Amino acid sequence: MYPKCAMVVKRVDSYLDGLNLDRGEKLNLLFYVAMYAVCAGLKSLRPNRKSIAAMDPNLLSEQLLQDCYGRILFHYNERIPYASLGICKGSHTWL
């Protein structure tokens, strides 16, 4: 499963690089977009290890990532004052 997760994060990282985001903002969004993209690609709110490990990386299309980024960004922008306080980190996640 680890190699698949690494592939997902690399794919999302590459997508976010194309958006010319601020480094800090990109790092804040990376894992949220990756998590959401896996759930959306597998059509599961709580994908299990087996389904993640078997996931076809081609599910993470440009269109899917664009949609996931937009959905995550909507919530991120609502909470941006809190993001600077570190509320989006650790056990105090906002999704």
> Whole domain around residue 39: which residue ranges?
2-83
Amino acid code (one letter) for 82: Y
- With respect to residue 75, please indicate whether it lies within any of the assigned structural domains: yes
Alpha carbons 37 and 40: distance in angstroms, whole number: 5
pLDDT at position 87 = 46
Question: In this predicted model, what pLDDT tens digit does every residue of 42-75 receive, in sequence order?
Answer: 999 999 999 999 999 889 999 999 999 999 988 8
In this prediction, residue 81 has a pLDDT band, given cuts at 50, 70 and 90, of low
55 closest CA partner among 9, 8, 12: 8
Flag whether 92 is in a domain: no
Does residue 95 form part of some domain? Answer: no
Whether 36 and 59 have beta carbons less than 8 Å apart is answered as: no
> Does residue 90 belong to any structural domain of this protein?
no
Provide φ and ψ at 64, rounded to 5°. -65, -45
* Number of domains composing the chain: 1
94 found inside a domain = no
Radius of gyration for the chain, computed over Cα atoms and rounded to the nearest angstrom? 13
